[in-house]
């Protein structure tokens, strides 16, 4: 039987990582393309998923048997705070259309992508899969988090009413090639890589927003892509699953900055702008369920992954999403 795997958000950070893994892992291997598979990486140019008719047209064109749903309105802390309704509404529309059409078009399996932002602000750490709905999310990403939480609610409803094989993944902070490296709107790693690159190139000050003290778990996009491929083949449970490095792999923003300075080869001094907001201090997530289910996984060492993205960023500076064309 031939399978068609449609990846929504195929041009984004995670979509491009999936494409990389599918193209580079040996055919037939655990994370490689299977001989009976066709992979489609859709972008917003193939259809605006906020629109039901365009979503249906996309599914009618490719007739996917499986969907990895990554498309979302994604942004950093400041954009999330400024555009709460847009983040709520666009993501609700995108998700509702993709889930509904996956059901009506009889897709066999759908994996959607949540985020650790969905978890309550006041919660006992570490985060685990049972705590998603146990309190309001952090105020800074209220819109995005509520839209994402609804995917889990809908997955359960589709399963109960129609027996659909829908599930969701919860990655921690992702970084990789093809990320958004915009200086104003990027997540912390791509923003720091870009700033550090400019500081080295132009001899400008390298200023890190915040205190450098918050702790985060980061997952390299190529590792995350492999975990999505594992889910596609081996994880058939409606309950979400956290895709992350272990809790003992938490790093401070200062440690991240030091590693970026090394990877970029920046030899000047840097400073912290403590007038800028830090966001949540820490939100460690447990990857216990993942490790139990997958039976072990080799994550790329953090510094090795940083070297890969810095090299990619330098080589692709003219085409990377840096905000300069916006």
Ligand X SMILES: NC(=O)c1ccc[n+]([C@@H]2O[C@H](COP(=O)([O-])OP(=O)(O)OC[C@H]3O[C@@H](n4cnc5c(N)ncnc54)[C@H](OP(=O)(O)O)[C@@H]3O)[C@@H](O)[C@H]2O)c1
Q: Is 14 in the site for ligand X (CB under 6 A)?
A: yes
Per-residue CA distances from 311 to 107, 205, 306 (Å): 38, 21, 8
What span, in angstroms and rounded, lies between the C-alpha atoms of 241 and 131? 12
Measured from the CB atom, the residue of 120 and 200 that comes closer to ligand X is 120
Provide, rounded to whole angstroms, the least separation between the CB of residue 283 and ligand X: 12
Q: How far is CA 217 from the centre of its chain?
A: 13
Strand partners, 220: 175
Q: Which of 5, 22, 67, 74 binds ligand X (CB under 6 A)?
A: 74
DSSP state of 237: -
Measured from the CB atom, the residue of 176 and 212 that comes closer to ligand X is 176
Measured from the CB atom, the residue of 79 and 199 that comes closer to ligand X is 79
Asked if the bond preceding 126 is cis, omega within 30° of 0, the reply is yes
Q: Is 285 in the site for ligand X (CB under 6 A)?
A: no
Following DSSP, what letter does each residue of 172-223 receive, concatenated?
A: -EEE-TT-B--TTT--HHHHHHHHHHHHHHH---EEEES-S--EE-EEEHHH
Task: Return all residues near 185 (Cβ < 8 A) that are at least 6 apart.
Answer: 75, 76, 78, 79, 323
Contact range with ligand X by CB under 6 A, out of 68-76, 208-216, 256-264, 297-305? 68-76
Q: Which of 3, 19, 20, 48 binds ligand X (CB under 6 A)?
A: 48
CB 230 within 8 A of CB 31: yes
Q: Is 73 in the site for ligand X (CB under 6 A)?
A: yes
Q: Is 231 in the site for ligand X (CB under 6 A)?
A: no
Q: Which of 79, 109, 138, 187 binds ligand X (CB under 6 A)?
A: 187
What span, in angstroms and rounded, lies between the C-alpha atoms of 310 and 313? 5
Contact range with ligand X by CB under 6 A, out of 42-50, 232-240, 263-271, 288-296? 42-50
Measured from the CB atom, the residue of 49 and 305 that comes closer to ligand X is 49
Provide, rounded to whole angstroms, the least separation between the CB of residue 128 and ligand X: 16
Q: Is 294 in the site for ligand X (CB under 6 A)?
A: no
What span, in angstroms and rounded, lies between the C-alpha atoms of 245 and 264? 24
Q: Is 71 in the site for ligand X (CB under 6 A)?
A: yes
Provide, rounded to whole angstroms, the least separation between the CB of residue 301 and ligand X: 19
Q: Is 176 in the site for ligand X (CB under 6 A)?
A: no
Q: Which of 5, 6, 12, 193 binds ligand X (CB under 6 A)?
A: 12
Other Cβ atoms closer than 10 A to 23: 10
Q: Which of 5, 6, 11, 222 binds ligand X (CB under 6 A)?
A: 11
Residues belonging to the chain: 326
CB 154 within 8 A of CB 96: yes
Active-site annotation holds for 125: no
* Choice among 62, 83, 125, 144 that is catalytic: 144
CB 218 within 8 A of CB 173: yes
CA dihedral 78, 84, 86, 92 (to 10 degrees): 120
Positions 102 through 131 that interact with ligand X (CB under 6 A): 113, 115
Residues marked as catalytic = 144
List interacting residues with ligand X (CB under 6 A): 9-15, 43-45, 48-50, 70-74, 94, 113, 115, 171, 173-174, 180, 187
């Amino acid at each position: 039987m031939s399978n068609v795997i449609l990846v929504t958000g195929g041009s984004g950070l995670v979509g491009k990582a999936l494409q990389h893994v599918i193209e580079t892992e040996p055919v037939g291997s655990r994370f490689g393309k299977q001989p009976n598979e066709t992979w489609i990486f859709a972008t917003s140019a193939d259809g605006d998923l906020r629109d039901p008719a365009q979503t249906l047209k996309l599914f009618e064109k490719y007739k996917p048997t499986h969907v990895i749903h990554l498309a979302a309105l994604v942004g950093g802390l400041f954009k999330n705070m400024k555009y709460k309704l847009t983040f709520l509404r666009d993501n609700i529309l995108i998700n509702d259309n993709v889930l509904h059409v996956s059901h009506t078009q009889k897709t066999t399996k759908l994996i959607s992508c949540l985020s650790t932002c969905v978890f309550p602000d006041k919660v006992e750490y570490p985060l685990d899969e049972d705590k998603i709905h146990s309190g309001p999310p952090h105020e800074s990403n209220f819109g995005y988090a509520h839209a994402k939480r609804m995917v889990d609610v809908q997955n359960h409803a589709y399963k109960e009413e129609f027996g659909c094989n829908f599930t969701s993944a919860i990655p921690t902070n992702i970084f990789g090639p093809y990320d958004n490296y915009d200086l104003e709107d990027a997540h912390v790693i791509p923003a720091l890589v870009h700033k550090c690159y400019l500081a080295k190139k132009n001899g400008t000050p390298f200023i890190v927003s915040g205190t450098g003290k918050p702790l985060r778990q980061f997952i390299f996009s190529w590792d995350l892509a492999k975990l999505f491929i594992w889910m596609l083949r081996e994880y058939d449970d409606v309950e979400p699953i956290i895709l992350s490095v272990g809790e003992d792999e938490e790093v401070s923003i200062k440690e991240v900055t030091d590693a970026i300075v090394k990877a970029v080869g920046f030899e000047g001094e840097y400073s912290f702008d403590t007038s800028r907001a830090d966001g949540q201090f820490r939100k460690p997530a447990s990857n216990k369920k993942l490790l139990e289910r997958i039976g072990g996984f080799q994550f790329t060492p953090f510094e090795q992954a940083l070297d890969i993205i810095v090299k990619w960023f330098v080589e692709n500076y003219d085409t990377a999403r840096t905000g300069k064309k916006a």
